[in-house]
Structure formats: C-alpha cells, structure tokens
Amino acid sequence: MCELFAMSSRSRSAVTYSLNEFAENGSALRSNRSGWGVAYAHDRDAFVVKEAAPAASSPWVDFIASQRLESKYVMAHVRYATRGEPYLENTHPFRRAFGGRVHLFAHNGTLHGLEDDVAKSSLTHHPVGETDSELAFCILLENLRSIWLEVGDVPPVEDRMRVFVDFASRMKTFGSSNFLYFDGDALFVHGHRRIYEEDGKLTEPKPPGLHIKNCQRCAAAPEYECNGLRIEQHEQNSILFASVPLEADGWEALPEGTALVVKDGVELDRVGTA
C-alpha cells in the first residue's frame, strides 16, 4: 500500500523524518517495497530525494532522518507498485518546472484505463516513466496551462483550485485518486479511497483516502513527534496530511471526494468533488 504525507506551515520548520517507521505505520504487511521519495520545497525550487528501493534497507532514509532540513512544505511518498516497474522514473514525488516554479505531485491509488483515454502526444509535459500517476500529473499541468500563461505569474488561488477540483473529479472515474500537488505557492490535496489492511488481508479501495491534522491547537508545543516524524514548530501553525493517522489524537478523516487548498499552514478552501 502506498503511503502519503504532506505538511504546510506558516514559516520554515525543521523536519526530520524516518520513512521506514512511517511505512510500517501504514502497513503491517510491509508491502511498501517499491520505492520512496521525499521533497522539501524552498520558494520556487525543491530539494527532492527518492529511491526505487525499500525504505527499510536504504541508507538514504537513515541519512535524511538524521538531518535538520527546514521547509514550509514537505511531501513524502512510500510506494507499492501497481503500475510501472520499481524504477527511479516511476518513484514519487514527481517534479516539473512550470511557470517559473518547480511543481511537485504524489498519488496513492490506481487509475485504470487512463493511458487509453489520453493522447500523450497532445500533452506539453510528457511522462518520463510508466505510471498512471505521472501521466495524471502531466494532465493536471496541461489543464493548468492556460491560466498560468494568461496571468504570467501565479494565478489567483481560486482559479487554480477550480482546475484542480475538475481534474480530481475526472480522475475519480478511473480509480482511487488521492493526490498531493504543490505548485510552488500552495498545496492542493484530494482525498478519495485507499486500500486498507483488515484481518491480515487487503480490502478493496474505500474511504477515507487521506486524513488531516490542524496543528493550530498544538502550536504551543516546541515540537511535534510521532512515528518517526519530528517537526520543530516554533509556536507556529501547521497542517499535516497522511494516508492514515500518525497517532490517535487530533486527526480528521477527509470525506470521500474532498479537495482542499492550504497555504502557509492555513486552509483556504475545502470543497467536494462531483
């Protein structure tokens, strides 16, 4: 099972992250064997490290967990391959330069038949790998292309949200559509359905696909720590997203088909996708 994580905070926070512990939190079967990746956004660019190998045996995971990397936006993904071999080009998060900024994207789920529905030659951005997830990212950027070109700078957030909601609504028709998308300015999230482990077996995809924790209530604490994740909060507000709650307290399950946009630790909008 793939696992997603994202953070948005008001100012840069030092984040240390053990992806191995995070993966085990989401799957007792430890089926996350196809790769992992983590991205730390910095203004218009992002520092991305990913590997097409199990997080449990990676020295890079230990290295990242030992560093004090600061960012306002963090995105992580632990992969269990359902479409595309466990190669680096198929490992999330994906990144593209677009509109003078680096855009990041990660997906949990399988989009059945998407590659048969889209003419790749019609896209401005082409997939490097074989995954339906990267193809979906390229489609999203194509949908956003007109509003970014019209403005010449960062378009209004309501316009970007409208495109993202339309995109998520369409992707739901192909399968589980849990998305994290950062456009260099704001984080867009869609929660849909995911596979769970119950009684030692994997279920069919079902809601919730993502969970949210608003850390305004815990901002007075010097740090937030659980399941291999440590965030130095500096008395600021943060919003966290994860495939499954990282602890028992304070996490809200997103209703099926919920799209959100957050910026600097503040939720700007939340709507349902048709």
Quote the pTM value: 0.93
- What pLDDT is attached to residue 265? 93
Give the separation between CA 176 and CA 156, rounded to whole angstroms: 28
Least confident of 28-37, 133-142, 185-194: 28-37
Has residue 131 got a pLDDT over 50? yes
At 22 the pLDDT is 60
- When pLDDT is averaged across residues 159-173 and rounded to a whole number, the result is 98
CB 214 within 8 A of CB 169: no
Helix (H, G, I), strand (E, B) or coil at 186: coil
pLDDT at 1: 53
- Confidence check: pLDDT of 95 > 80: yes
Q: Determine which helix (DSSP H) or strand (DSSP E) holds 162, and give its type and residue range.
A: helix 157-171
Q: How confident is the model at residue 28 (pLDDT cuts 50, 70, 90)?
A: very low
Pick from 1-10, 51-60, 96-105, 230-239 the range whose average pLDDT is largest.
96-105
Average pLDDT on 138-161 reads: 93
Task: Please tell me the predicted confidence (pLDDT) of residue 29.
Answer: 44
Instruction: Using alpha carbons, select from 45, 54, 145 the residue that is nearest to residue 95.
Output: 45
CA atoms of 125 and 79, how far apart (whole Å): 23
**pLDDT at 11 (0 to 100):** 86
pLDDT (0 to 100) of residue 27? 46
CATH class of the domain at 3-272? alpha beta
- Region 141-152: mean pLDDT is 90
- Please give the mean pLDDT across all residues of the chain: 87
Average the pLDDT over 211-225 and give the result: 74
In three-state form (DSSP H/G/I as H, E/B as E, the rest C), the secondary structure along 6-64 is EEEEEEEEEEEECHHHHHHHHCCCCCCCCEEEEEEEECCEEEEEEECCCHHHCHHHHHH
Class of residue 135 by CB neighbours under 10 A (exposed 0-12, middle 13-18, buried 19+)? buried
Mean per-residue pLDDT for 8-32?
66
* pLDDT above 60 for 32: no
HSE value, Cβ hemisphere, 13 Å, CA-based, for 226: 14
166, containing H or E segment: helix 157-171
The alpha carbon of 155 is separated from its chain's Cα centroid by a whole number of angstroms, namely 21
Q: CA angle, corner 272, sides to 239 and 261, nearest 5?
A: 30
Answer whether 68's CB lies under 8 Å from 79's CB. Answer: no
Report domain extents, the chain.
Answer: 3-272
Distance, CA of 184 to CA of 245 (rounded, Å): 26
